[in-house]
Chain A
Amino acid sequence: MTTFEYELPNPQTEDVKTVFGQQDLIRRSASTIEPPARQLTPMAKLIDVSKCIGCKACQAACLEWNDKRAPVGENVGTYTIPPDLSPQMFTLMRFTEWINPETDNLEWLIRKDGCMHCADPGCLKACPAPGAIVQYSNGIVDFDHERCIGCGYCVAGCPFNIPRISKTDHRAYKCTLCSDRMAIGQGPACAKSCPTHAIVFGTKAEMTEHAETRIKDLKSRGYQNAGLYDPPGVGGTHVMYVLQHADKPEIYADLPNNPVISPVVNLWKGAAKYAGLAAMAGMVAFGVLHRFVEGPNRVTPKDEEEAKQLTEDPRS
């Protein structure tokens, strides 16, 4: 039988052992957990914006793999379709027409938006439901829809405005970094579908190294500010970008310049919780203490007598 160069191997038929699972959690929303026994190699997806041709194969692959069907939308005069992320659309190509003030050239910036898989995830910090958001030691931040209560706190917690709450099942959705594919040793569907290899996937160390070569190449072509987007404010991310203009990420459809978990969210989920519980417990403690020290305030028979005299007086 002739085999061709491009022929793919047949799919595996024997049982595939999962590579990681619940034992590898490093964070679990609204829970304290034991640190895992082992540390998985941190993985990352690298999105090279300079290589993207905007074909949206990744968007289609994402819908396909996750078995989502977004309703047919409306053309609102942009290539960014649908116009926003949604409970069905975990990833979205955002198109920006940018005129470079230095060269006066029109640059078509196409950024693949979606969950960044922060090392310090704001969604997980904000989530009130135990186990609805989990983080694995390989860097994946994943939602467990069974446990989600649909409050939307993750939306407030996220510095990238990623999670979307379904209006039908009231649960939060976002990119899973194809955790289900990764669990059996495969890469994300989007990376697999990308015809230009603008999306690549591997260990975070490899991806950072690979990015270096890309940045060098871009710099040699005149993109002085080309660089890697791996923002330290959220502890770094497990989805990274190579940007032609890394000094101004905001031109890429408002990619945040220095994303951090909002101080308001930190206060709300940190000091405010302790202060709140302490205040309520303090109030109860005061009541109990007062009860024992001062005791009840009772009306005396004399008071009743006074009242009687008062009420009888005006009649007499």
Chain B
Amino acid sequence: MSERYEIDPSDEVHVGERVTVDRYTKAARLNHWLTAACLVLLAISGLAMFHPDLFFLSALFGGGQNTRAIHPWIGVVLFFSFGGLFLRFWRLNLWRPEDGTWMRRLYDVLINKEDNLPELGKYNAGQKIVFWGMSLLILILIVTGLAIWNQYFSEYTTVEQKRYALILHSAAAVTIICVWIVHVYAAIWVKGTFSAMIQGYVTGGWAWKHHRKWLKALVSGKHVDDGKAAPAPAPAGKPGQAAAE
């Protein structure tokens, strides 16, 4: 099993009073948060058109006309922004034998009983499903979204095609919002996760507990900064706080 299927070249363990592990570069984090912002804005503007009870949300965008006009443009930004994330993350999200085992023991995962789970690489099966699910759904959303983008593309599809595009677009939108809820809740549930996308690193304990195979691969692959070679070791205090939370 080649190393590049376990770790990203930029992932690195920092040894110190408290071990920390770099998980996302600054570029990856910016890319992630741009995508997240787009997704949230798309969900809000889309839901305003999805159900009459949610139409009031259009006020956030300056009225119905503006909501209708801006939503597809945010979609285009999302598409390219997510494309960036896809290129960064796809390799480590490839399905592994241990992912099947993990899925079969999903109940243990849900009740916080991890002793019986296989050791995992950088992502667990849940994260991989979120990744591939979002990828597929965004593809469906951009294709159907273009088909119903009447301001520019009304001539390119028939009315019948637009009907299917509309129902598919709203079904895919509902699904991606559900996937997004799972994604956000998982980050809230598993303490110490947010720091990966905010400061860019997690604690050694977090990596050990949740992604041990990843941590071991980093250590055995000498992706370790023991303070001798690397210029800037992680500050000792901060990661401890993240772990304690």
Contact = CB atoms under 8 A, between A and B. Distances in A.
B19 A311 contact: yes
A301 interface: yes
Contacts of A272: 167, 170-171
A170 B216 CA distance: 58
Given A295-B112, A310-B219, A155 B159 contact: yes
Given A128-B52, A311-B19, A151 B163 contact: no
A268 interface: yes
A299 B181 contact: no
A315 B15 CA distance: 11
B120 interface: no
A264 B209 CA distance: 48
A305 B19 CA distance: 9
Interface stretch (B34-42, B75-83, B183-191): B183-191
B13 interface: yes
A121 interface: no
A63 interface: no
A147 B226 CA distance: 64
A25 to B, nearest CB: 15
Interface string B46-73: 0011111001001000011101110000
Given A165-B154, A311-B224, A299 B191 contact: yes
A294 B159 contact: no
Interface string A276-287: 110110011001
Contact of B52 (A30, A155, A167, A284): A30
B198 interface: no
Interface in B138-161: 148, 150-151, 154, 159-160
Interface string A147-164: 111111101101001000
Contacts of B93: none
Contacts of B167: 264, 267-268, 272
Interface in B192-221: 192, 203-209, 215-216, 219-220
Given A155-B159, A276-B171, A290-B110, A303 B209 contact: yes
Given A299-B203, A310-B208, A280 B181 contact: yes
A155 to B, nearest CB: 6
A150 B3 CA distance: 52
A261 to B, nearest CB: 10
A283 B184 CA distance: 11
B27 interface: no
Interface in B208-241: 208-209, 215-216, 219-220, 222, 224, 226
B74 interface: no
Contacts of B148: 152, 156
Nearest to B224: A311
Given A130-B52, A273-B51, A300-B209, 6 more contacts: A156-B162, A272-B167, A284-B181, A299-B192, A303-B204, A304-B205
Interface of A: 30-31, 128-130, 147-153, 155-156, 158, 161, 165, 167, 170, 262, 264-265, 267-268, 272-273, 275-277, 279-280, 283-284, 287, 290-291, 294-308, 310-315
